[in-house]
């Protein structure tokens, strides 16, 4: 009987620790797929009219929904970008059906990064940033406000040498405060 009680207590402890493990996780990690939508008329955001909606895609994992990157590509010839990302409370499926205004934003932030020259029509990119907004109705993400982000992946170019059209990558939020907010 004593062994059964010890076993039940150990199982209860294991279940309790796994329930709180996500709350104490060192990061949130999600996979992203994205399509290049730059030039489709999504411009002039109220928070920075110089940025254009460049990428839109799905995000699935510890955070799930639709992700958008609003970007200022900088000077011509430079592979750097700066912009804002938003994770929206919409189904993570193509075709994406998520309003632009008002958007159901779960969380948002700023990032900056670089694109690497394509090799055989595949290019890589990476960026870093910070979470600057979490909607209060999504309490499970409140602790991630002000935390650092990293993002990156690959994208392919159209075979005719045109703009990039599709990519995949990873989006992570680390449980480390940022000194940038």
Per-residue pLDDT of the chain (181 residues; tens, 9 = 90+): 444 434 434 434 333 333 333 456 789 999 999 998 876 666 555 556 677 788 899 999 999 999 999 887 665 556 677 888 999 999 999 988 888 777 789 999 999 888 877 787 888 989 999 999 999 999 999 999 999 999 999 998 665 666 678 899 999 999 987 665 4
Which sequence spans correspond to the domains of the chain? 26-177
Q: Where are the alpha helices (DSSP H) in 22-138?
A: none
pLDDT value, residue 100: 74
Contact (Cβ atoms closer than 8 angstroms) between residue 128 and residue 150: yes
pTM, entire model? 0.78
Q: Alpha-carbon distance 43 to 51, whole Å?
A: 7
pLDDT value, residue 86: 92
Q: Alpha-carbon distance 60 to 31, whole Å?
A: 5
pLDDT value, residue 25: 75
């Amino acid at each position: 009987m004593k062994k059964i009680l010890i076993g039940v207590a150990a199982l209860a402890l294991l279940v309790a620790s796994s329930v709180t493990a996500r709350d104490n996780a060192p990061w949130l990690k999600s996979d992203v797929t994205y399509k290049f939508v730059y030039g489709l008329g999504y411009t002039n955001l109220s928070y920075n009219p110089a940025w254009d909606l460049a990428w839109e895609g799905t995000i699935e994992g510890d955070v799930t929904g639709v992700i958008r990157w609003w970007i200022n590509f900088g000077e011509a010839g430079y592979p750097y970008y700066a912009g804002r990302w938003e994770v929206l409370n919409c189904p993570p499926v193509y075709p994406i059906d998520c309003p632009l205004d008002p958007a159901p934003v779960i969380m948002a932030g700023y990032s900056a990064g670089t694109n690497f020259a394509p090799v055989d029509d595949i290019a890589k990119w990476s960026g870093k940033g910070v979470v600057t907004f979490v909607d209060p109705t999504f309490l499970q993400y409140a602790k991630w406000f002000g935390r650092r982000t990293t993002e990156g992946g690959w994208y392919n170019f159209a075979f005719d040498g045109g703009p990039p059209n599709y990519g995949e990558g990873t989006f992570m939020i680390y449980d480390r405060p940022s000194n940038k907010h």
